[in-house]
Structure 1
């Protein structure tokens, strides 16, 4: 199983996730038209997302359809939320500093 952080590190894979977040599912050929790369390259990116459990596939005849599984993204959300207090404090201090300079 691939690391979820590694899977979302690439901009192409983040774009694929974003596209899948907007729809129920899409076949490979509909995803490929949004990239300046071949079907094989897009398929490799989708395989990485699937290894990280971020994408679920379903066969319909000869076609593979892809859909988002957002549950693993919770790990990233939890990690980023640890820094929320840090940024709130910094922004509050910045606001005070800016108000003092008026």
Structure 2
């Protein structure tokens, strides 16, 4: 969401140049509302999910606490030592496999 707002702000002049003058004020107001909504979103993400569930009554609200909010975060890359160990291990496995042939 923040990327979208940033894009709007970076392209504000172009957008306003393309919009008829009567919509400039509306655009500015909507952009301001969007910025304020994003600031509120930074709070409790579980609460935001509960609010969304109002529109999906077939879903059980009890699962909200079980949702891992960091599940989408990338894992850290292995260290140089871990990579070297993995390569050495794979090399030994391949050598052993070749030896069996």
Tell me if both proteins adopt one fold, taking TM over 0.5 as the criterion: no
TM-score norm. by structure 1 comes to: 0.32
RCO greater where, 1 or 2, for CA within 8 Å and sep 6 or more?
1
**Larger helix proportion, structure 1 or 2?**
2
TM-score norm. by structure 2 comes to: 0.32
**Larger strand proportion, structure 1 or 2?**
1
